[in-house]
Structure 1
Amino acid sequence: MSHRNARLTLHGRRLLVERVLACRPVAHVAAEMGISRPTAHKWVRRWKNEGDAGLADRSSRPGRTPHRTPAAVEEQVCGLRRTRKLGPARIGPILGLPASTVHRILTRHRLNRLAWLDRPTGTVIRRYERDRPGELIHIDVKKLGRIPDGGGHRVLGRDAGRPVRGMGFDYVHSA
């Protein structure tokens, strides 16, 4: 997602394409907009191939990961974690995987912390899962000291501030 002061926002890319379509040289349009010529050519090429959809921002995430650990091996790693409660350094040699790969798999499946697992069953404990926002109400209680007019004991001293009626505390409840 581009920031609002970026050289080429979605609006700027459309403007670039319009200027190039008006038979102006790409190098001149790129110089006017403060971008490189290859970048300008890239956006014009994307617009020609995909239309307005080609001007939108894309994710930098790769489309596929050919060397990712197979799903069956990942299931074995998760199974060992749930049943035996082993760490990556102990699961790795059992399955012939590096400990770093085992840790990455456990993190991906949110099993990387033993404290997050229920000890007897091995299932992940999910504490605050609700169907809709606002279903769980949280209440905070704030204790506020009442300070008499003219100041408290810091201004008047301990003895002068003590016998005033109405001193004490107020409690504010916020939900």
Structure 2
Amino acid sequence: MNIHKNARLTPRARERIVRQVESGQTPEAVAKAAGVCLRTIRKWIDRYRREGLTGLHDRSSRPHRLRRPTPAAIIETIERLRRQRWTGKQIAAEAGVSPATVSRILRRLGLNKLSALEPEPVRRYEREHPGELIHLDIKKLGRIGSVGHRITGRQTGMVNRHTGIGWECVHVCIDDASRVAFVQVMPDQRKNSAVAFLAAAVAYYASLGVKVQRVMTDNGSCYRSKTFRAACKRLGLRQIFTRPYTPRTNGKAERFIQTSLREWAYARAYNTSDERTAELPRWLHRYNWHRPHGSIGSKSPISRLGLTGNNLLRLHS
């Protein structure tokens, strides 16, 4: 409830005047002291006697019932014509009601937008087999010197003692089909770090019995470098790039980054960057092995690789 700035009586003030009248004061004296008319005092007293304290709160100005509601036959006609993709003005002319009435009824029926008539199917792409495509991306994280403003909040006039402490880069890789992820914290996002991470990621998936065929990256300079291109060729990978300024192309990596920030990087207060990095393998193990993913069903990503028997037990241990 929003009380306007010139309101004389708030719910608490209404309760006070009711208590004054109940204690024996005359309504005239209470009205004069509150600076309102006698009719207002009697209105709130009547509401209190009928409904108690709940009656002292403001109520909607909407009528309890309409004098002449739209007949059900007209509502059915409006719905039928709308499902034939008629416009609001066409429906109003045909049904003999105002366009405002048609708009109100369509909004109530959930048909005010044409897209509601034929909802478009969710367009998702996903590779059929693990290893057909992996997504690579990088997220910069500020180094931690001590618990910072994300936990303690910013204080006015406080000098940022962490200025110039530097950055560290989280290189992420996620499989398109299984969503099995691999993450490493690197000192920078240059080509040598990107190549080292790519080799480590391919080796990780190879340990799971998955052969990587393609790698998708954005258009960062490290991924566009000749060194990274040569590394892809040496590892037998075909490199493809996302469309410029189109992060949804690499959406699986972008979504994984947001999840990792929420559940790992900013999940709790870390005293140092090393402490945060040490927590990464434990979180990643839970993400791959135990965390159910709603977008790919209730199974964990690692279970989609089809590993069974001794290999599964060896990797899990």
Task: State the TM-score bracket (shorter-chain normalisation).
Answer: 0.5 to 0.7
Hey, what does 2:105 align to over in structure 1?
105
Aligned CA RMSD, in angstroms, stands at 3.7
Aligned counterparts of 1:173 and 1:92: Cα–Cα separation in 2:
50
Hey, what does 1:132 align to over in structure 2?
none
Change (3 A) 1:111 1:126: farther
1:19-168 superposed matches below 5 A:
19-82=20-83, 84-118=84-118, 143-144=139-140, 166-168=188-190
**Cα deviation 1:126-157 (Å, max 9, x = unaligned):** 98xxxxxxxxxxxxx984488xx699xxxxxx
1:65 maps to a residue whose letter is L
Aligned counterparts of 1:16 and 1:110: Cα–Cα separation in 2:
45
Other structure's SS at 1:174 match:
helix
Pair 1:174 & 2:270 matched: no
Unaligned 5+ runs, structure 2: 123-136, 143-163, 167-186, 191-219, 221-253, 260-317
Check conservation: 2:138, 2:189, Cα contact below 8 A. Answer: no
Aligned counterparts of 2:33 and 2:82: Cα–Cα separation in 1:
58
Check conservation: 1:2, 1:9, Cα contact below 8 A. Answer: no
Check conservation: 2:139, 2:257, Cα contact below 8 A. Answer: no
Q: Give the alignment's TM-score, normalised by structure 1.
A: 0.61
Aligned counterparts of 2:15 and 2:56: Cα–Cα separation in 1:
7
Range that drifts further, 28-37 or 64-73: 28-37
Seq. identity, %? 35
Displacement of 1:75 in angstroms is: 1.4
**Cα deviation 1:43-90 (Å, max 9, x = unaligned):** 1222334444433432322110122211221111111111x1111222
Hey, what does 1:15 align to over in structure 2?
16
Change (3 A) 1:116 1:50: closer
Displacement of 1:111 in angstroms is: 0.9
Unaligned 5+ runs, structure 1: 119-123, 128-140, 152-164
Aligned counterparts of 1:105 and 1:25: Cα–Cα separation in 2:
49
1:41 maps to a residue whose letter is R
Hey, what does 1:137 align to over in structure 2?
none
Hey, what does 1:131 align to over in structure 2?
none
Displacement of 1:18 in angstroms is: 1.7
Other structure's SS at 1:48 match:
helix
Change (3 A) 1:15 1:125: farther
1:95 maps to a residue whose letter is A
**Cα deviation 1:26-48 (Å, max 9, x = unaligned):** 23222333433321121122233
1:25 maps to a residue whose letter is T
